[in-house]
A and B are shown apart, each in its own frame.
Chain A
Amino acid sequence: MSLILLIEQVLNGLQFGVMLFLMSAGLTLIFGVMGLINLAHGSLYMIGAFAAAAVAGATGSFVLALAASLGAAAAAGAIIEVTVIRRLYDRDHLDQVLATFALILIFSEGTRWAFGSFPLFLDIPDYLSGPTTLPGGIQYPLYRLAIIVVGLAVAAGLFALIAWTRIGIQIRAGESDREMIGALGVNISRLYTLVFALGAGLAGLAGALIGAIQSVQVGMGEPVLILAFVVIVIGGIGSVKGALIGALLVGLTDTLGRFLLPVVFGAFMEPSAATSIGSALASMAIYILMASVLIARPRGLFGAA
């Protein structure tokens, strides 16, 4: 029994980690290529979820909803890149933090104005609802399994894009030397808009996929944004590989921490105290993980020295 429960929790952690990867891949690319710290990434996640909920409500199609989340978030990303973000590339981090914080305020209140304060609901389509039986007789929700598959597929696609395509070569070149690839005739501002829209689209997709499990509401992006920051700091800012490993590490630590810590404390304390201390510590676990990684390796696991 307990082993099955543990495997289930590991799968939950994996699903959470894969989601975090979709969020952090964009953040880390944007930082790696443009040197920009983007707090508004959580707003793009929210935009994706709202677009998906609106389209699913209008058409009833989950696939269209996912496409809409990608499209809407990528479009919103491209728009803010051209109007605001572009002016921030050569500013210091403080200005970037503030301007993107301002964007959060504008997006959150704008969405509240357009959709109201009540959460929207995005339903899991019939063909993905219900449990499925994994080898070993483990029952697991099909939708969560689908998220893991989609997330891993997107990760593989992203690695292929970066490793083998022309745009990937430009992205990698942009990470190591911005001026040089400009001098070699690459249209830098177009490349930047593209990278930003790509990251935004991934965040939007993550928002839509998670929106079907949780509710779609204003402010849903910020908690995920902070977790994504934890991920990229652990993985090393700018490294997509670091983001993947960091995301899985954070996903598993958080999920297993919540599951195991109360049990561990329960071994030598009375149950109610064990639950409260265990859950208090579990909610801090990933931040403790991040602080320890940074203290041991101030540039993250895969950060450039």
Chain B
Amino acid sequence: MRRETWVGIILVLGLLAVPLWALAVDEPYTITLATRVVILALAGVGLNVALGLGGLVSLGHAVFFGLGGYAMGILASHAQSYTPLAEWPILIEGSKSMPVIWLVACAVSGLVALAIGALSLRTSGVYFIMITLAFGQMFYFFSISWPAYGGEDGLSIYVRNEFPGLNTLDPIQFFGVCYVILCLALLLVSKLSRSSFGLALVAARQNAERVQAVGIEPYRLRLVAFVISGVITGLAGALFADLNRFVSPSMFTWQTSGEIMIFVILGGVGRVMGPVAGAIMFILLEHFLGGLSEYWHIYLGALLLGVVLFARGGLIGVLAGREVAHD
């Protein structure tokens, strides 16, 4: 097996081992921390489909993260207050069931990604970065000034949503749910990157003219990739909201987009396990540097600068060597 595969297996097993150890020594906070890692990694896995495979530098992925969060917040708040979401044309009730919320989060993020992608992908390069950023801001300002769901204050959900057969209030069980979803997403992305669709997508990133010349339309490939990417990030948003039992417009800020991008870059762009490594590193930094100094973002900035300027393969690149570095 390649070294990168080994690094990946160790990361995934390590991510499972830490909360199990924390369970054994009764440290629920560590389990919550690990759950955060898993959810943020999932958001990164989503972005990585667009960014790593498709080369689409989206600075607006907070839109999907936030939509997932609000899908959870809105459904759960209606279920919490026993008011229907809509009475006309059909009666729609709120829901406290995770699978229903996930489905709604995925569907909404997917539809919005389709719309944003269809418009944004007409541009490229810097214009693409800017237009995705602008869509992000659009959603952010809308969420702030729309008073029905808390506006600037956000929405609190008092009890975590339910998953049939599990007690999601137990940290380790909720961790398990998130972990399984992350593993499924990783499996999907690694299959995707080796499928003919994934290969064509990577080819379109490297040389769009050639791809066009053999009869494949890069626009459609990118649009599909953007939608898949949005759906995964949206799902992560729903889980993140459930972890905190709180959603607010801060999920839509462009700093959120920037942070999701940081996970992907710290870990290594275009590598299946990159976002996992990046999210682990980010949370560890936040936890330890944040404990050392209130101003830990300075160190984060310096580290990010160092990775961009000098270590372009990211953490996985350093651990697994450069032989498989992408383009």
Q: Name the one of A99, A226, A280, A290 contacting B145, with C-beta atoms under 8 angstroms.
A: A280
Q: Name the one of B57, B142, B145 contacting A93, with C-beta atoms under 8 angstroms.
A: B57
B146 and A276 contacting across the interface, CB-CB below 8 Å: yes
B304 partner residues in chain A, CB cutoff 8 A: 98-99, 101-102, 105
B305 and A97 contacting across the interface, CB-CB below 8 Å: no
Most-contacted residue by chain B among A101, A283, A284, A290 (CB, 10 A):
A101
B137 and A294 contacting across the interface, CB-CB below 8 Å: no
Most-contacted residue by chain B among A93, A104, A105, A287 (CB, 10 A):
A105
| A interface majority secondary structure | helix
Q: B44-80 vs A: 1/0 string, CB under 8 Å? A: 0000000100000101000000000000000000000
Interface size of B by Cβ–Cβ distance < 8 Å?
A: 43
B297 and A226 contacting across the interface, CB-CB below 8 Å: no
B125 partner residues in chain A, CB cutoff 8 A: 93
Chosen A-B contacts, 12 in total, with CB atoms closer than 8 Å, are: A94-B269, A101-B304, A102-B301, A102-B302, A112-B295, A222-B254, A222-B255, A226-B134, A276-B147, A280-B141, A287-B137, A299-B127
A37 partner residues in chain B, CB cutoff 8 A: 126, 129
Q: Quick one: which of B113-135 are within 8 Å of A by CB?
A: 119, 122-123, 125-127, 129-131, 133-135
A95 and B308 contacting across the interface, CB-CB below 8 Å: yes
Question: Nearest B residue to A95 by beta-carbon distance?
Answer: B308
Q: Name the one of A106, A222, A279, A291 contacting B301, with C-beta atoms under 8 angstroms.
A: A106
A104 partner residues in chain B, CB cutoff 8 A: 301
Most-contacted residue by chain B among A108, A237, A280 (CB, 10 A):
A280
**Nearest 10 pairs of A and B residues by beta carbon:** A105-B301, A283-B141, A106-B301, A102-B304, A287-B138, A102-B305, A280-B145, A109-B297, A102-B301, A109-B298
Q: Does A295 contact B (CB under 8 A)?
A: yes
With A and B bound together, what is the CA distance between A63 and B145 in angstroms?
38
Question: Nearest B residue to A230 by beta-carbon distance?
Answer: B134
Q: Does B144 contact A (CB under 8 A)?
A: yes
Query: Given contacts A94-B57, A105-B298, A294-B123, is CB(A99)–CB(B131) below 8 Å?
Result: no
Q: Does A87 contact B (CB under 8 A)?
A: yes
With A and B bound together, what is the CA distance between A101 and B142 in angstroms?
24
Most-contacted residue by chain B among A93, A222, A226 (CB, 10 A):
A226
With A and B bound together, what is the CA distance between A222 and B59 in angstroms?
14
A93 and B301 contacting across the interface, CB-CB below 8 Å: no
With A and B bound together, what is the CA distance between A300 and B125 in angstroms?
13
B302 and A106 contacting across the interface, CB-CB below 8 Å: yes
A106 partner residues in chain B, CB cutoff 8 A: 297-298, 301-302, 305
With A and B bound together, what is the CA distance between A37 and B130 in angstroms?
10
Q: Does A203 contact B (CB under 8 A)?
A: no
A97 and B129 contacting across the interface, CB-CB below 8 Å: yes
A109 partner residues in chain B, CB cutoff 8 A: 295-298, 301
With A and B bound together, what is the CA distance between A110 and B296 in angstroms?
10
Q: Does B309 contact A (CB under 8 A)?
A: yes
**CB of B170 to closest CB in A, whole Å:** 36
Interface residues of A (CB under 8 A from B): 31, 37, 84, 87, 93-95, 97-99, 101-106, 108-110, 112-113, 222, 226, 229-230, 233, 237, 276, 279-280, 283-284, 287-288, 290-291, 294-295, 298-300
A279 and B130 contacting across the interface, CB-CB below 8 Å: no
With A and B bound together, what is the CA distance between A291 and B255 in angstroms?
21
Q: B127-161 vs A: 1/0 string, CB under 8 Å? A: 10111011101100110111100000000000000
Q: Name the one of B133, B147, B296, B309 contacting A226, with C-beta atoms under 8 angstroms.
A: B133
**CB of A112 to closest CB in B, whole Å:** 6
A110 and B298 contacting across the interface, CB-CB below 8 Å: yes
Question: Nearest A residue to B130 by beta-carbon distance?
Answer: A233
Q: Does B258 contact A (CB under 8 A)?
A: yes
A291 and B119 contacting across the interface, CB-CB below 8 Å: yes
Query: Given contacts A103-B305, A287-B135, A291-B119, is CB(A280)–CB(B126) below 8 Å?
Result: no
With A and B bound together, what is the CA distance between A172 and B137 in angstroms?
33
B297 partner residues in chain A, CB cutoff 8 A: 105-106, 108-109
With A and B bound together, what is the CA distance between A105 and B282 in angstroms?
14
**CB of A221 to closest CB in B, whole Å:** 13
With A and B bound together, what is the CA distance between A279 and B146 in angstroms?
9
With A and B bound together, what is the CA distance between A279 and B143 in angstroms?
12
With A and B bound together, what is the CA distance between A230 and B133 in angstroms?
9
With A and B bound together, what is the CA distance between A104 and B129 in angstroms?
17
Question: Nearest B residue to A282 by beta-carbon distance?
Answer: B145
Question: Nearest B residue to A298 by beta-carbon distance?
Answer: B123
B59 partner residues in chain A, CB cutoff 8 A: 97
Q: Does B300 contact A (CB under 8 A)?
A: yes
**CB of B137 to closest CB in A, whole Å:** 6
With A and B bound together, what is the CA distance between A173 and B276 in angstroms?
46
